[in-house]
Structure 1
């Protein structure tokens, strides 16, 4: 009879642990989001700040229990599944400087290896709307025609 209460307590403890979700399930998943970003270029005195679609959110990660110098663990990040490039014209660029800047626009997101072509793969980075030069906000009515590549 003494074993029944012990088993019941152990069973309740196991059920409680299984019922409490892990912290990562409370994080926002990898999805499309509208974000304010900036573009700037050497030879152009202004930094354009505008809204576009990027990927943001949590991807499950793996941490091996046993770490071997011969094993490679690739962590997945929230990055672009499909994307297109659009082009925006920077104002007041110096003579001889191409004022067009192409930037990726996310169409879908996925958890995969980080691609330096479309993502900032650094550990710590500046905010996406950070400018080194004078900021110039761009409103929807001011955005020049975009060009798809």
Structure 2
């Protein structure tokens, strides 16, 4: 009985230590400054600027028993509150709206991925990736 109690104590201590290490190693889900690029068909230059996006770690559990259709959803670091700002792309062709609106993260949260405001893919393009000629814009 003493061996079982000691084993349970060691096991629970290990998990507490692991949780503490995880919280100190991985950055929390919060707004961070990031370089972002926007471009639009009909505008020959993409615009690169600084904004706030959500980034960081969200705690998730992965079940040991793998079933085909799990009911557990994994949470991601996504927007809580946002403010939208608008920039004007330069040198757009006549008839092309040069205005682009983008979200600025005011707060972030760990929740299910919302495809309306987040890139929910496994691997996406880098935030400052442009297909067209770059034009740097001063930070807001």
TM-score, scaled to structure 2: 0.85
- Does residue 34 (structure 1) correspond to residue 33 (structure 2)? The answer is yes
> What's the counterpart of residue 55 of structure 2?
56
**What stretches of structure 1 of length at least 5 have no aligned partner?**
144-149
- Does residue 21 (structure 1) correspond to residue 18 (structure 2)? The answer is yes
> What's the counterpart of residue 73 of structure 1?
72
> What's the counterpart of residue 146 of structure 1?
none
**What stretches of structure 2 of length at least 5 have no aligned partner?**
none
Of 16-25 and 42-51, more deviation after overlay is shown by 16-25
Of 26-35 and 70-79, more deviation after overlay is shown by 70-79
Partner SS for 1:87: strand
Q: Deviations over 1:77-115 (max 9, x none)?
A: 000001121110000001110000011111110001111
TM-score, scaled to structure 1: 0.80
Change (3 A) 1:94 1:65: same
Q: Using the alignment, how far apart are the partners of 2:43 and 2:57 within structure 1? A: 35
Which is greater in Rg? 1
Q: CA RMSD in A?
A: 2.4
> What's the counterpart of residue 87 of structure 2?
88
> What's the counterpart of residue 147 of structure 1?
none
Partner SS for 2:18: coil
Change (3 A) 1:111 1:133: same
Q: Deviations over 1:15-60 (max 9, x none)?
A: 7625633453210010110111011001101111001111000001
| Runs of 4+ that moved beyond 6 A | 6-9
> What's the counterpart of residue 44 of structure 1?
43
- Does residue 124 (structure 1) correspond to residue 123 (structure 2)? The answer is yes
Tell me the matched-pair count: 138
Change (3 A) 1:119 1:18: closer
